[in-house]
Chains A and B, each alone.
Chain A
Amino acid sequence: MSLQGWLENNWLVKHRTSAEEIASLLAIVERDLSNSQVAGLSPDWRLNIAYNAALQAAGAALAAAGFRAAREQHHYRTIQSLAFTLGWTAEKIGQLDNFRKKRNIGGYEIAGLVSEQEAGEMRELALALRDDVLAWLRKNHPKLLRR
């Protein structure tokens, strides 16, 4: 499979991005990375915010590659697309996807489910992803990175 194959399966839609769009996605990533450590927020919510930072970072890479995930399973596809954009390993993608599942339970079903430990781990993963996305953009799509 490839992103082109995903497009044929209607898992992705073609998307023409711009330096402005990438900049605003990266701004969301930074905002959420910073908000994910605000004291006084519950770990459920901090995990949610750090997860959103990761999702937007993955979405920025996908946009730079010329696509966005279709509406159905949007989060899942955006996360899995990291294999084709950044070349993330199945293990790292699996880690992020496990947080997606946890967020679904912690965010919508059970309050107080997420531990400090888990929220912290999600933030670390989002930071690592942000760094990888920036390095990848610099190398592969330097024009999309406005100075």
Chain B
Amino acid sequence: MGSTIPSPETLPPLFGKTRQALLALLYTHPDEPRLQEQLIQSAALGRGTVQRELEFLVRAGIARRTVQGRQVYFQANPDCPIYPELRSLIVKTAGVADVLRAALAPIAARIRAAFIYGSVARSEERRASDVDVMIIGEVTFAEASRALGSTQKTLAREVNPSVYPPAELRAKLAAKNHFLRTVIKGEKIFLIGDERELARLARK
């Protein structure tokens, strides 16, 4: 709201379509080896293009290739020197944030700020980490849960929304609510609004 900083939604300016799709598939679930066939299907791109790109990512040390019997698996390479940076970039852009942002779109007009907090925002998530989403606005928990419900399948993890109307947020921050203070101070990935808007909401 009133933000002049565009939030990064996709990666095209940095990477081509195939690389973007594969990085998103490999780096949003870094612990999970993906079958080559599965990657070709999920990326919905040509087999040859995907295979060439996967070869490139392996050569560059960004992905790891393992063979089990007749199956070829690919996985994000945690030993890659830029693994943490790349992972954070993917999560903030093509990964979880994109999926959640799209899901909130139908009720976004009544949301002043929304962001991911907790382990996913701190990039310390493990495979089973839930995604914690804080929503500040005039929406109900039922609406937010409904909007985000379908993303649990896409992301293969639980998405837990918390809904605070702006007035309640301010009152609780003023009353030094520990949970909210920690969340507001902590790492965030913004889905709607930005840090400035949040500061404004908290202060008003």
Contacts and interface: CB of A to CB of B under 8 A. Distances in A.
Interface in A78-121: 91, 94-95, 98-99, 101-102, 105, 110-118, 121
Contacts of A110: 179
If over half of B's interface residues share one DSSP class (helix, strand or loop), that class is named, otherwise mixed; here it is: helix
Interface residues of A, number: 19
A117 B145 contact: no
Interface of B: 140-142, 145-146, 149, 158, 160, 162-165, 168, 172, 177-180
Nearest to B165: A117
B122 to A, nearest CB: 15
B172 to A, nearest CB: 8
A114 B162 CA distance: 7
Contacts of B158: 101
Contacts of A102: 141, 160
A117 B160 contact: no
Contacts, number: 49
A115 B142 contact: no
B145 A116 contact: no
A117 B141 contact: yes
Interface in A114-132: 114-118, 121, 125
Given A91-B146, A94-B149, A113 B141 contact: no
Contact of B178 (A111, A114, A117, A118): A111
Contacts of B168: 115-117
Interface of A: 91, 94-95, 98-99, 101-102, 105, 110-118, 121, 125
Contact of B140 (A105, A114, A117): A117
B179 A111 contact: yes
Nearest to B179: A112
B145 A115 contact: no
A101 B160 contact: yes
B144 to A, nearest CB: 9
A110 B141 CA distance: 18
Given A105-B160, A115-B162, A115-B164, A121 B146 contact: no
Given A98-B145, A117-B168, A112 B178 contact: yes
A113 B172 CA distance: 11
26 contacts: A94-B149, A95-B142, A95-B146, A98-B141, A98-B142, A98-B145, A98-B149, A99-B141, A102-B141, A110-B179, A112-B178, A112-B179, A112-B180, A113-B162, A113-B179, A114-B162, A115-B141, A115-B165, A115-B172, A116-B168, A117-B164, A117-B165, A118-B162, A118-B163, A121-B140, A121-B142
